[in-house]
Amino acid sequence: MKSHDSVSAQQPRRILEILFGLCFLLLTSTSVRAVWSTQFATEGLNGRVRTLIPFGATLAAGGDFTMAGVTPANYVATWDGSDWAALGTGFDDDVHALAVYDGRLIAAGKFDFAGATPTSHIASWDGTNWSALGTGCDGEVVALAVFEGKLYAGGFFLNAGGTAANRIAAWDGTSWAPVGTGVDRPINVLHVHDGELIVGGEFQNAGGVIATSIAAWNGVTWSDLDSGMNGGVTALTTFNGDLIAGGFFTQADLQTANYIAVWNGIEWDPVGNGFDSGVRGLAVFGDDLVAGGVFASAEGIAASRLARWDGATWLELGGGVDGFVHAITLYDEGLFVGGNFQNAGGSPSIRLARWDDGTSSTDTGSGVLQSFAFPNPFSDRVELSFGANIRTVGVYDAMGRLVRRQTFSGSNDRWVWNGRDESGREVPAGVYTLRFERSSRTDALRRAHRITRLP
């Protein structure tokens, strides 16, 4: 028999569970259709959006705009789900790339100044002010990535911090260093995949190695990815464990690959029949690979600058957009697309659009899923409770990458996640999205509430 004291000690926890569950059900009681948001009909931007990245609780956008909604914002701004905010006085010219390094937002591009502060194409935001990273770079920076604790920058420059650095350099928080002997032509994109920094661009040589448009840096040496592509690489991501490259090429490894290809660690293969023109942005949204760019069709079907790959075929995405796409990312459980368009799905959405996948995380009786997580935020473990007939629970990081999937063979209504990925490694602190899937493949529930792991 439990003592009176032990029962009393459990009462506050039980009350919290009930209150949390009631709040969650109230907040998520409305079904969501697959739809483009109407927010950016009035909260759009007056210039092209070139780059998007989640930053804390906000979405950071960079480009060649000077107004975000009704807010003056010189080339960079943050969106909190309802309002835009400027970051200081911004810059004097375009922002091409954004990254988060050491908890700070890093912006890079064509600019020379942040307000009156010389920044030479790359700068760091501490929440109040922009500051230079050393003496910066002597030419445009168009790509950023964090690899092995360092910030990597790529672009058109030949010097970084006063040191020769052929179009790529690494910042360790104090100073710039070259990355081997760099590459012989401009870099467009950087991406970390399978323990290496993948570099895409217009080059033919990386560190003395023949590498056509794409190469890998392991922290010490450069290597090629077979015979590469016959045109520039402008977008990279990881999908189902494989590297995906998009760009303005029609061949990979000397075989046909129309503007998109997949690297399995040994060789390149096409992704279906690809597109009729170039790819500029890639992201993973739920179980799908999403591509955006300048194309008008995918595998011969109309797909206006946006398409999704379900693992077997390319499909159009919500009617697409009416102008070029430059950036795609995930934020607040939605897919955000930036570029130079005026409409998404036939409705006004000015240079930024949000797509929701049309599934609901609540659907009782007629199919509603009730779910909650406790505690949330959590440190070591979180208990997930949900309705019956759930086949799998997927845990995705802030970039939409699957970190853990739990499959159930029978009837289950709860699961305790220990904060570890498929390989048993602890996942870092941050926001994670839960996606539930029922026993019927046609009744997928791809939206759910988020959970936060504490440091």
Dmax over Cα atoms in the chain, in whole Å?
76
Asked if 69 and 209 sit in the same domain, the reply is yes
Cα 93 from Cα 131, distance rounded (Å): 16
**Which of 9-23, 117-131, 262-276, 319-333 has the lowest average pLDDT?**
9-23
**Which of 126-135, 278-287, 356-365 has the lowest average pLDDT?**
356-365
Number of structural domains (the chain) is: 2
The range of the structural domain enclosing residue 424 comes to 4-30+361-453
In terms of Cα–Cα distance, which of 390, 355, 399, 371 is closest to 32? 355
Structure tokens that stand for 319 in this block: 């009617």
Structure tokens that stand for 382 in this block: 């979180």
pLDDT band at 57 (very low <50, low <70, confident <90, very high): confident
Domain boundary among 304, 331, 357: 357
- Bridge partner list, 383: 374, 416
CATH code of residue 410: 2.60.40
Asked if 115 and 148 sit in the same domain, the reply is yes
Asked if 422 and 281 sit in the same domain, the reply is no
Structure confidence at residue 25 (pLDDT): 38
Higher confidence at residue 75 or residue 17? 75
- Could you read off the pLDDT of 182-194 as tens digits, one per residue? 999 999 999 999 9
pLDDT band at 23 (very low <50, low <70, confident <90, very high): very low
Asked if 333 and 370 sit in the same domain, the reply is no
Asked if 273 and 393 sit in the same domain, the reply is no
Asked if 332 and 366 sit in the same domain, the reply is no
The single-letter DSSP state of residue 69 is T
Asked if 67 and 204 sit in the same domain, the reply is yes
Structure confidence at residue 183 (pLDDT): 98
- Could you read off the pLDDT of 129-150 as tens digits, one per residue? 999 999 999 999 999 999 999 9
Asked if 177 and 298 sit in the same domain, the reply is yes
Structure confidence at residue 149 (pLDDT): 95
Cα 309 from Cα 307, distance rounded (Å): 7
Structure tokens that stand for 288 in this block: 């799908």
Q: What average pLDDT does the segment 318-331 reach?
A: 96
pLDDT band at 9 (very low <50, low <70, confident <90, very high): very low
Asked if 405 and 379 sit in the same domain, the reply is yes
- Could you read off the pLDDT of 218-241 as tens digits, one per residue? 999 999 999 999 999 999 999 989
Asked if 26 and 41 sit in the same domain, the reply is no
CATH code of residue 139: 2.130.10.10
Structure tokens that stand for 348 in this block: 């006004």
Structure confidence at residue 328 (pLDDT): 98
Share of the chain above pLDDT 70, in %: 84
Prediction pTM value = 0.75
Domain boundary among 297, 327, 357: 357
Structure confidence at residue 372 (pLDDT): 67
Residue with tokens 């591009």: 109
Domain boundary among 308, 342, 357: 357
Asked if 371 and 295 sit in the same domain, the reply is no
Average pLDDT over the chain, rounded to whole? 86
Asked if 372 and 225 sit in the same domain, the reply is no
